[in-house]
Amino acid sequence: MFRTFRGGQSGGWRVTSISPVTGEPLPFVPALSVTDSEAVSLPQVPSRNAWRLVGVASNLRYTERAEKQQLVAVQAGLGRLEATSAALIPIRKSQSWWELTQEERRKIFEDRSHHIASSLRFLPAIARQLYHCRDLGGPFDFLTWFEFAPADASLFEELVAMLRRTEEWTYVEREVDVRMVKE
């Protein structure tokens, strides 16, 4: 139920870069491990050369029925053999975002930023999973995870560049972009 991303010295993914997009960076680590657990464990004593982020795959907040059907029809699942490149992009949104109502956020997210409509064309090449962590007390609100074949790396760059230009992203106050390859 809880997915833990641990940046450190070992793990199934070899980290190739960690770029601070907005706000405080995360320290560089050579490897990332991804594990699942039934309960959230207390954070260990923070160490200088490791970090740990926990999130939970939750229910949809903004997606409407027709959009969900479109997504389900084209999206790929995680763990494809050819998808040996991945990105972990932890994101925190600002207080002003969270003070909006659900309806106001949906307007910004989709009616004005077209997060879903403009991202659909990147499926199934880019597989994705959103993890929520705002209520778990960590430093981010979301952990976003993407898997793709190395040949689709430039497609992924196009996707992140597009989203970062939207009105939705004006509410992003911390974003770190971790890239890796499967070991």
The neighbouring-strand residues paired with 86 are 147, 180
144 binds ligand HEM (CB under 6 A): yes
What's the rounded Cα separation, in Å, for the pair 136 and 140? Answer: 9
Residues 66-85 that bind ligand HEM (CB under 6 A): 71
| Closest separation in Å from C-beta 91 to ligand HEM | 4
The residues near 103 (Cβ < 8 Å, ≥ 6 apart) are none
Q: Residue 56 interacts with ligand HEM (CB under 6 A)?
A: no
Which of the ranges 10-18, 24-32, 36-44, 114-122 carries the binding residues for ligand HEM, by CB under 6 A?
A: 114-122
Q: Which two tokens stand for residue 48?
A: 């200088």
Binding residues for ligand HEM, rule CB under 6 A, total 22
Binding mask 1-30 for ligand HEM (x = CB under 6 A): ------------------------------
For residue 78, give both structure tokens: 């995680």
Cα distances (angstroms) measured from residue 169 to each of 5, 9, 94, 127, 179: 23, 32, 10, 21, 20
Residues in the chain: 183
Binding site for ligand HEM (CB under 6 A): 60-63, 71, 89, 91, 93, 115-116, 119-120, 122-123, 126, 128, 130, 142, 144, 159-160, 163
